[in-house]
């Protein structure tokens, strides 16, 4: 499953249950791509893997709609109590150090790894 | 038959529609700086709602925000250490995030039927970055907007952030106000607003809103 555009890529690898998000994701809620990415995330939750890794290490920018989308994903997956969530980020990308901790506030058991 | 000037007609309509609101103008919320300090560097960009289709204009918001961030970096001291590099990267990232959110908000909430421009100013004095966005909103939207502002300025922003996210899952909305809350919580920015009557040649149903973001570096 993937959504690939000029500025960003969202790719789900089922073999290691990892969602790779790369590029600059400044979505507009009216766009079809926003719905497609949401559908991809919903399908990952519905497939109920034992753990999901959200790899954001190459995600350079994320607007507030994107933050909202990832936060909703975490809240929904939190309801499936048995799914572990790992978020991988990059310390060199300033927004990640500032904002990713908020995902942990939504789901305290979430493992946040900033390298 | 009495003939009203365009300004009189305009004021008559405004007063008729929302007399208390109009009487309260100009109105500020938060720590709004009426007198700007002497900023050394500044850049202003204007955007016309008819310049491009909405999808393209949305993408231009990101490009313009990156441009503003690149400009700001040219005003910073030369990099000498790894710490400087990190500091500069943080400022560039913050300017890009904040400018993009402000432009996106202006595009989402502007009364675009009247064709008025959105303007963003960026000022820098060596220690504070000031962002000002100016756009017009429809008179009917003002009270809801002001009630959101009141909540932003009086509630605990960290709690409000989580509440908005949890609500957005239940209601399937897109987390209204999240961009502004992120500026406050994650970037320690100070937000304020000014509402005033729009210029004389504009529709009587528009109010001019200036959003001010102060970012100490």
Q: Please give the sequence-ordered ranges of beta strands (E in DSSP) within chain B, or none if there are none.
A: 27-30, 41-47, 118-124, 128-138, 190-197, 206-216
Least confident window among A35-49, A94-108, B1-15, B129-143: B1-15
Q: Which two three-digit tokens encode residue A66?
A: 């994107």
Q: What are phi and psi of B30, to 5 degrees?
A: 80, -170
Contacting residues of A for B182, CB less than 8 Å apart: 64, 67, 99
**Cβ of B96 under 8 Å from any chain A Cβ?**
yes
Q: What is the mean pLDDT of residues B178-204?
A: 87
Q: What is the mean pLDDT of residues A16-22?
A: 98
* B49-78 residues touching A, CB cutoff 8 A: 54-55, 58-59, 61-62
Q: How many CB atoms lie within 10 A of CB B188?
A: 12
Q: How confident is the model over A2-14, as a mean pLDDT?
A: 95
- Structure confidence at residue B1 as a pLDDT band (50, 70, 90): very low
- Residue A76 near chain B (CB below 8 Å): yes
| Contact with chain B for residue A51, Cβ under 8 A | no
Residue B168 lies in a domain: yes
- Report the pLDDT value the prediction gives residue B23, as an integer from 0 to 100: 79
> What average pLDDT does range B133-146 have in this prediction?
90
Q: How is the beta sheet containing A111-114 ordered, strand by strand?
A: A2-4, A8-13, A18-25, A51-62, A84-89, A111-114
- How much is the pLDDT for B46? 92
Which residue in chain A has the smallest CA separation from B175? A68
Chain A, nearest residue to B58 by Cα: A28
Which residues in B lie closer than 8 A to residue A64 (C-beta atoms)? Answer: 101, 104, 175, 178-179, 182
* B203 secondary structure, DSSP code: -
Q: How many helices (H) and strands (E) does chain B have?
A: 7, 6
Whether residue B1 lies inside any domain: the answer is no
Structure tokens at B176: 């209204």
Q: Which residues of A touch B185 (CB under 8 A)?
A: 102
For residue B89, the chain A residues in CB contact (below 8 A) are: 92, 94
- Say which residues have a Cβ less than 8 Å from residue A39's Cβ, sequence separation at least 6: none
Whether the predicted pLDDT of B12 surpasses 70 = no
Q: What is the mean pLDDT of residues A67-86?
A: 95
Q: How many domains, chain B?
A: 1
pLDDT tens by residue, B149-163: 999 999 999 999 999
- Residue A72 touches chain B, beta carbons under 8 Å: yes
**In the block, residue with structure tokens 């790719």:** A11
Write out the residue range of the structural domain in which residue B110 sits.
6-33+40-216
Mean pLDDT of B191-206: 79
pLDDT band at B15 (very low <50, low <70, confident <90, very high): low
| Poorest-pLDDT segment among A16-30, B7-21, B119-133 | B7-21
Q: What percent of chain A has pLDDT over 70?
A: 100
- Nearest-neighbour CA in chain B from A50: distance (Å): 22
| Span between the terminal Cα atoms of chain A, in Å | 26
pTM: 0.91
Contact A65/B at CB under 8 A: yes
CATH code of the domain containing B81: 3.30.565.10
B69: left (phi over 0), alpha (psi -120 to 50) or beta: alpha
User: Which one of B103, B105, B178, B184 would you mutate to disrupt binding with A, by most A Cβ within 10 Å of its Cβ?
Assistant: B178
Which phi and psi angles does A61 have, rounded to 5°?
A: -140, 145
Q: What's the token pair of residue A3?
A: 């959504």
pLDDT tens for B60-79 read 999 999 999 999 999 999 98
Residue B166 φ then ψ, to 5°:
-60, -40
Residue scoring higher pLDDT (B178 or B55): B178
Cβ contact B166–A76 (<8 Å): no
Has residue B28 been placed in a domain? yes
Q: Which of A59-63, B87-91, B182-186, B194-198 has the lowest mean pLDDT?
A: B194-198
**How high is the ipTM of this complex?**
0.94
Domains of chain A: 2-114 (3.30.750.24)
Residues of chain B found within 8 Å of residue A105, distances taken between Cβ atoms? 162
Residues of A in contact with B61 (CB under 8 A): 26
């Amino acid at each position: 499953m993937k959504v690939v555009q000029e500025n960003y890529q969202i790719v789900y690898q089922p073999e290691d249950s990892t969602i790779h998000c790369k590029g600059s994701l400044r979505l507009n809620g009216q766009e079809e791509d926003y719905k497609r990415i949401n559908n991809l995330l919903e399908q990952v939750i519905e497939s109920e893997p034992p753990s999901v890794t959200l790899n954001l290490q190459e995600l350079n920018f994320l607007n507030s709609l994107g933050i909202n989308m990832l936060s909703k994903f975490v809240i929904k997956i939190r309801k499936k109590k048995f799914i572990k969530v790992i978020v991988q980020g990059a310390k060199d990308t300033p927004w990640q150090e500032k904002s990713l901790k908020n995902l942990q506030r939504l789901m305290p058991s979430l493992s946040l790894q900033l390298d | 038959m009495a003939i009203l000037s365009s300004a009189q007609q305009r004021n008559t309509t405004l007063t008729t529609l929302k007399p208390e609101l109009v009487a309260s103008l100009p109105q500020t919320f938060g720590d709004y700086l009426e007198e700007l300090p002497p900023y050394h560097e500044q850049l202003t960009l204007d955007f016309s709602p008819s310049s491009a289709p909405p999808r393209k204009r949305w993408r231009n918001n990101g490009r313009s925000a990156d441009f503003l961030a690149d400009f700001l970096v040219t005003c910073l001291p030369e990099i000498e250490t790894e710490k400087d590099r990190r500091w500069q990267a943080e400022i560039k990232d913050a300017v890009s995030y904040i400018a993009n959110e402000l432009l996106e908000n202006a595009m989402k909430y502007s009364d675009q039927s009247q064709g008025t421009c959105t303007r963003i100013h960026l000022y820098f004095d060596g220690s504070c970055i000031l962002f000002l966005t100016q756009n017009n909103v429809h008179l009917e939207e003002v009270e809801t907007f002001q009630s959101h502002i009141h909540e932003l300025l009086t509630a605990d922003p960290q709690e409000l952030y989580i509440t908005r996210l949890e609500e957005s899952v239940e209601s399937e909305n897109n987390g209204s106000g999240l961009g502004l809350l992120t500026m406050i919580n994650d970037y320690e920015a100070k937000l304020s607003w000014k509402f005033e009557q729009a210029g004389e040649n504009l529709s009587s149903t528009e109010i001019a809103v200036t959003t001010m973001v102060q970012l100490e570096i």
